[in-house]
A and B are shown apart, each in its own frame.
Chain A
Amino acid sequence: MAEIALEHITKRYDDGYEAVKDLNLDIADGEFMILVGPSGCGKSTALRMVAGLEDITDGELKIGGQVVNDKTPKDRDIAMVFQNYALYPHMTVRDNMGFALKLARTPKAEIAQKVNEAARILDLEQHLERKPANLSGGQRQRVAMGRAIVRNPSVFLMDEPLSNLDAKLRVQMRAEISRIQQRLKTTTVYVTHDQTEALTLGDRIAVMRAGVLQQVGAPMELYNRPNNLFVAGFIGSPAMNFLPAHIEGDVVKLPIGDVHIPDALRARLQAGPGGGRDGVIAGLRPDDFEDASLISGESAGTTFRTKIDVLESMGSEYYAYFTVEAEQVDARELQELAEEAGTTDLPGREGTQVVARLEAASHVRQGQEIELWFNAEHLHLFDPENGLSLLAE
């Protein structure tokens, strides 16, 4: 058991490129910390520095209170699960899992007992004598987990361990990893580019972009109170809608209509950094929309009529796409997210497309006009200059 402290950690390569810039992160003992971000954001590099596979250019890394900058991976008491599992192909599952113990000169009987125990937890008992080549992807993934578990390390490091599995198996293994972590209570650092994985797995999530830590917090905190455009756009699926807006007194003028600012929001806005500016970027989560006919009269919010261009039925809910007459919001952070998602190549269209998540009870039809309601209390407001949230925490 150990806490991890990253203090001003920087990774600079010989060519001057900084993969990680002044990263400060405290991970509590037993915590499940997720490092998430688009590819190339430095999350894997950060993990590999914790593992000792990558030198730390600047800053201090402490595991269990001890500075481990110059320690080799084997002296850091960590176990790591690699993206491609990195199983030893010439060893059986049993030998793969017992390799670390064997190197540590653990007595044979103890190795066997620990491997059997891990195999039982991971449901690998009948595969112990097989070679990795004869296992399915999910089984290989579990062996990789098993190899980490048997050592009972003080820290688990996982580098996108589920990205090579197909979608269904990924969901299963996600739950499995969560279960194992809760059972073992081992400090875990988990790298992923998948925000769903981040939200579902982590005690806390650290969002990174271009080597810089953007925000750290519990999943709901990041979802409800993103502190900049990047985090807002990255966390949540479907992604947050962004619209240009103006603040005039107590009213936010949105392309979909005027929204009276609720008291709670006004308090946060006044306490926030942006104070009196008027041109802003408004963020609207798809979940904060609803079919107006399903909303009881008194809720704080605004209603507007729009034509639904495309309706996706998910069974338990609808995703309704409609177009708002407004310029596409243009911010560097959002540009980056679009590039990561590959949506920059999509044919341009007039106006801005907005997604709303509607209850299955709605009678919405594709191509028809409908009255939609939006929850003003959950409005997000961002500074178009620097992308920071205008709302206080």
Chain B
Amino acid sequence: MSVKARQRTGWSLAFVVVVVVSLVPVFWLIMLSLKTPESATDGSFIPHHWTLHNYRDIFNQTVFTAALRNSIGIGLISTTLAVLLASSAAYAIARLDFPGKQTILAVALLVTLFPQVSLVGPLYNLWRQIGLFNTWPGLIIPYLTFALPLAIYVLSTFFREIPWELEQAAQIDGATPFQAFTKVIAPLAAPGLATTFIIVFLICWNDFVFAISLTATNAAKTVPAAIAQFPGVSQFTQPIGDIAAAAVVVTIPVMLLVLLFQRRIVAGLTAGAVKG
């Protein structure tokens, strides 16, 4: 075997190992979700009886459907707000020289380092007093707080990569700063916006700490919190099958999002903007 072929085999092997290791839990989850409740703990990887019972079961429970609605709603609203706010902030940071620019970035970074758990207690009390407990805004606000700094960071790097001349060209062409942003910069930053959207959405979608502490009922409880509180069929059975099915269901939107935007993320729209 030549050195090159050996190298390739080595890399392929490493690749397979990584893929298997990272996908086993996912398959395990899927298999578990397709088992009957009685055979859930029988120790076999492949189900003896394939069934969609668990899926039918969770979609018949308002606990899950309400949670799904809350998760999607809260996630989308938080993400949209975060991306909108962050894009204007990031644009300013990338383009303008103003006093305190570094401070803003530093403070933003500081917020992301803040341990979320330490905020939960005070927020719980505060939210109860001002009536935000167990509401959508009650979760959207903390999500925004933690998502914004990250979004600003990611977006400002994207904006920095867009040649400044494009904006000046737009200015010369008669565009107002707002038009230059919406018609030239934003379309070019689309891959960046999409990436940021996904990252922020994942943060909101996956959150457990705030969801479990700041919600109580179907009015605002999101899926991660709801799954943890699934009732069993009887008080003596573990709802493992239901939990697995719910977990599979909540990973699907995420997978779809990534697949949908993957091309745009990878493509990088700025090719050909300047000499190449």
Contacts and interface: CB of A to CB of B under 8 A. Distances in A.
B276 interface: yes
A131 B275 contact: no
Nearest to B190: A90
Interface residues of A, number: 32
Interface in A81-108: 82-90, 99-100, 103-104
Interface stretch (A26-34, A72-80, A297-305): A72-80
Contacts of A147: 169, 173
Contact of B163 (A72, A86, A103): A86
Given A89-B273, A100-B174, A84 B187 contact: no
B188 interface: yes
Interface in B213-250: none
A80 B174 CA distance: 11
Nearest to B184: A88
Given A131-B272, A133-B276, A84 B165 contact: yes
A114 B169 CA distance: 19
Interface string A159-200: 000001000000000000000000000000000000000000
A170 to B, nearest CB: 13
B165 A82 contact: yes
A87 B273 contact: yes
Given A82-B168, A164-B275, A89 B174 contact: no
A146 to B, nearest CB: 12
A137 B172 contact: no
B1 interface: no
A87 B184 CA distance: 10
A133 B188 contact: no
A86 B275 contact: no
B55 to A, nearest CB: 42
B272 A89 contact: yes
A140 interface: yes
Interface string B164-179: 0110111111111001
A79 B271 contact: no
A86 B272 contact: no
A66 interface: no
Interface in B174-200: 174-176, 179, 183-184, 187-188
A104 B174 CA distance: 7
A85 B274 contact: yes
A235 B166 CA distance: 33
A113 interface: no
Given A82-B168, A84-B163, A86-B163, A103 B275 contact: no
A132 interface: yes
- Most chain A CB neighbours (cut-off 10 Å) among B163, B172, B271, B274: B172
A133 B172 contact: no
B262 interface: no
A72 B178 CA distance: 14
Contacts of A100: 172-174
A2 B34 CA distance: 78
B9 interface: no
A251 interface: no
Nearest to B174: A74
Contacts of A73: 168, 171-172, 174
A164 B273 CA distance: 13
A132 B174 contact: no
Contacts of B171: 52-53, 72-74
A360 interface: no
A245 interface: no
B270 interface: yes
A124 B175 CA distance: 25
Nearest to A144: B169
Interface of A: 51-53, 72-74, 78-80, 82-90, 99-100, 103-104, 131-135, 137, 140, 147, 151, 164
7 contacts: A72-B171, A73-B171, A73-B172, A85-B274, A103-B174, A134-B272, A140-B272
Interface of B: 163, 165-166, 168-176, 179, 183-184, 187-188, 269-276
